[in-house]
Amino acid sequence: MDQRGTGRPTRRAFIGLAAGTVAAGAAALAGDGPPGSRPAAGSLPGASATGGRASRPAVSPAARRVTPESELPGDEHWAISNLGAAREIEGYAGAASVLAGEPVPLFASSRPKWFTVTAYRLGWYQGAGARRVWRSAALRGGAQKAFTVEGATSTVTTNWDPVADIPTDGWPAGAYLLRLDADSGAQRYVPLTIRSPGTTGAVVLKSSVQTWQAYNTWGGYNLYTGPSGGYGQRSYAVSLDRPYAGNGAGMFLTYERNAVRLAEYLAGRDGLRLAYVTGMDIAADASLLDGASALVSLGHDEYWTPAERAHVTAARDAGTNIAFLGANAMFRRTRLRPTAVGGDRLVVCYKTSYLSDPAYGKDAALATADFRSGPGADPESSLTGTIYEGYPVDVAYVVSSPSSWVFAGTGMRAGARLPHLVGVEYDRVNPAYPVPRPIEVLSHSPLWLNGVASFGDSAYYTRPGGAGVFNSGTMRWVEAIYGDQPHGIGGRTPDVVRRVTANVLRAFADGPAAAKYPARDNLAVIREGKGAPAGSPGNLQ
């Protein structure tokens, strides 16, 4: 979605700035309190007094399995402290996710002769934020072959040899970072998901690997730009067979890590049962979400296959709650293809050039236009409740339904403002598109985009099958949970965002939410305007 000729930063530039800030300040992400600190009973980690804790239904001991993992001591030194020079050390995993016990091929290239690999599981860990679960012996380094840019799709790929198989025996399911440490001191991350074998009764945290790769500029190309920065030079397919640019995990650290940390804290304190998957796992297995209490889509979850959407929609209709903790979710339709390394490692997305997609005219369901356009148009709002409008914005989040259960314990009143929370991308409830009913507009934030007045909205709707669906409507939601990201977010905003997120996770963990937490439809009162999104069409590239 670049904005050529507008004089404004491109969307990729905004995402890159966020990831770069995380890379530069990684040490600050290691914890939000003194090492080993423990929150007081009844409080949330790092929270100040914003009101009493939200009530939640009593559940049987069998439904609450205490997870001692999140209460274990952590390692406050997990964060990268020295990126070193470009290409000094970098790598990628031969699988985006594996079950515990399955080895993970590691592909790495380095200038120094030796390096080690340390595996960290991300979580609460008494405030440290991560626990070391494994460390390799010294591994011989060396520079691998230069990358290639292949064919009409301008796909950057490598033809590297694996340097090691990483054993995962006994590793708990979760979000992991493999840290590569060269003997020169240079460091990089390689993200990995140890996926859960089942999700029954669990709050499922999803990593958005396709979106990470869509924005990955390693090798000079991604789905937005080429080496000159022009949209017309972009890739039409991006491969997981390459490292991630920057520190190796910028999008995970920016848009997912804080939600994982809070969920793991609640797992230890309240016994929430968690499960971990990637979007590609959901796409590959129609039954993966069977019996799940909730699915949590984290801060930037833009790229989905039709299969993933179908499987998530079926889960919702069967009573699985869904929380979208971001904006711009499920906007792009993708297609997955194998590479020489393995299956589902090539992410195909022609976007506005879908007429050039080989699938166009052959199978409308596979042509990689946006979900709301092209053949088989199916706007994302039928699942998310909101429609993506655009970027860049930076405005206050304005509460419109303070009596909603999601705001319990926050002290919010109608018209309360949380500065800078809506940005850089946002969603709106727009009746010109499919809107599930009943739907409760939780926040209604005035803004201007490209000279057009509009609103950014968060919303909650419920379904006849029992599911509740929450959408924060802003990409900064996860960034704000602990107030450790930029954008001027401070004051009471992190406390409120953390409390609302905890309310949603606790309520959704107890199964179908509609009966106890029905959406109180206020669409007529809010008087949402119909029409094309304020950001279209220029910045929806």
Q: Which residues of 315-350 are buried (b: 16+ CB within 10 A; e: fewer)?
A: bbebbbbbbbbbbbbbbbbbbbeeeebeebbbbbbb
**Position 106 confidence tier, pLDDT thresholds 50, 70, 90:** very high
Mean pLDDT of 182-192: 98
Which of the residue ranges 112-126, 300-314, 351-365 would you say has the lowest mean pLDDT?
351-365
Residue closest to 253 by CA, chosen among 84, 1, 25, 502: 25
- CA 471 to CA 473: how far, in whole Å? 5
**Is residue 510 predicted with pLDDT exceeding 50?**
yes
**Position 353 confidence tier, pLDDT thresholds 50, 70, 90:** very high
**Position 405 confidence tier, pLDDT thresholds 50, 70, 90:** very high
**Is residue 171 predicted with pLDDT exceeding 70?**
yes
**Is residue 335 predicted with pLDDT exceeding 70?**
yes
Helix (H, G, I), strand (E, B) or coil at 124: coil
Q: Residue 139 forms beta bridges with which residues?
A: 115
**Is residue 50 predicted with pLDDT exceeding 50?**
no
In tens, the pLDDT along 266-278 reads: 999 999 999 999 9
**Is residue 81 predicted with pLDDT exceeding 60?**
yes
**Is residue 531 predicted with pLDDT exceeding 80?**
no
Question: Could you tell me the pTM of the whole model?
Answer: 0.89
Contact 507, 405 (CB under 8 A): yes
Question: What's the mean per-residue pLDDT of the chain?
Answer: 88
In tens, the pLDDT along 432-456 reads: 999 999 999 999 999 999 899 999 9
Residue 530's pLDDT is: 80
- CA 384 to CA 301: how far, in whole Å? 11
Residues in contact with 409: Cβ distance below 8 Å, sequence separation at least 6, in sequence order:
50, 51, 52, 53, 54, 499, 503
In the chain, DSSP finds a helix count (H) and a strand count (E) of 10, 25
Which of the residue ranges 84-88, 283-287, 374-378 would you say has the lowest mean pLDDT?
374-378
**Is residue 388 predicted with pLDDT exceeding 50?**
yes
Question: Which residues in 81-186 belong to E strands, given as ranges?
Answer: 89-93, 97-99, 104-110, 114-122, 130-135, 139-140, 148-150, 155-157, 162-166, 174-182
- CA 453 to CA 117: how far, in whole Å? 50
Locate 354 and state its tokens. 């879908």
Which of the residue ranges 48-52, 370-374, 498-502 would you say has the lowest mean pLDDT?
48-52
* H helix or E strand, kind and range, residue 500: helix 493-509
Mean pLDDT of 13-19: 40
CA distances from 400 to 363, 440, 530 (A): 43, 9, 19
**Is residue 479 predicted with pLDDT exceeding 70?**
yes
**Is residue 31 predicted with pLDDT exceeding 50?**
no
**Position 536 confidence tier, pLDDT thresholds 50, 70, 90:** low
